[in-house]
A and B are shown apart, each in its own frame.
Chain A
């Protein structure tokens, strides 16, 4: 069942993204030159196959915020301060620290909290498995992202957490330099040491997911699009015990602000979900948030 309140948020976010696109369009003095584009960031939460250009380095600030639980007030974010470089035409590396924020009040099963904290570190390696060429519009990249956290993503509680995000990132060029389809396949095992501080040892869980996205270049520096994510959560790192799922949809935008600076943003709303502990539930607000947003600003050098 589609939730009216959540659908309203998506309806609100879409015109906002389009307005930003028109502002960018108004600033575009370039003639209509649709150059080749790096597809990694044009699909929102869905990642494209791009691995950067050999010799390219980039620093970026990327925040992912999560809003809304079943009750109370819930707002949490995680920001990556990311350094990215591409040493050759096949592999890309990224790493950096994480900063987490939590603003939680009167949410069932979560302590009230208002904090900003150093959240941990992450690294990522991306390998271009299938190259896009003049006769092949499909490109596929494999990525592995190990993360260490000292702050629980959901509750903000001090923990020791390890996560490995494994992804297949694929995209298809439908119209050269203008229209792209993207898709991700996700497997994300993680383990948290004694999260409730009761001597319980390692608590293991895993998330699997698949996404689809479309992105259209409305002017040379601006892409707008939409994406859908289907996520399933399990106890145990090998998809052992199913606990619930969620479907997110929402708009995306990518703007090349100048040849060396770009921003990308996305807004996802949970429209359908299921929590096995809540019979009859139509959203899963235990493992997933009601809304999530992403904002990234990157400078290449």
Chain B
């Protein structure tokens, strides 16, 4: 009984891992800065249906947290440093993001 359940759980885990994307495509690179708690530029663009490497440069002294529910990522970037966020291939459209530590700091990724 226990081994049957263990086999089923293992099968589900295996299925989930097998479904992960291979990420073999060349990633598009996009950079955005944060200064005085404002994204610069506030709107960035990226191509559709390819992985995206988003470089976030925090030029402020205080940390920021890049967050987006539609992009399904969050990442803390300490002050005066940068972070890299890898995004899955996206459908065309607008994807909002913001700084969770300073919620008035907002921006949008336009995927075409």
Contact = CB atoms under 8 A, between A and B. Distances in A.
5 contacts: A91-B20, A127-B19, A146-B5, A259-B103, A260-B100
Interface of B: 1-2, 5, 8-9, 12-13, 15-16, 19-21, 67-75, 87-88, 90-96, 98, 100, 103
Contacts, number: 73
Interface in A122-136: 125, 127, 132-136
Contacts of A36: 68-70, 96
Main secondary structure of the interface of A (DSSP, over half): loop
A88 B98 CA distance: 19
Given A36-B69, A54-B74, 7 more contacts: A52-B72, A54-B73, A89-B72, A127-B19, A133-B90, A133-B91, A134-B94
Contacts of B74: 53-56
Interface string A23-61: 000000000000111100000000000011111100000
A144 B11 CA distance: 11
Task: Specify which of B16, B70, B73, B88 lies most central, judged by the most chain A CB atoms within 10 Å of its CB.
Answer: B16
A133 B70 CA distance: 8
A53 B73 contact: yes
B91 A136 contact: yes
A144 B88 contact: no
Interface string A62-97: 000000000000000000000000101111000000
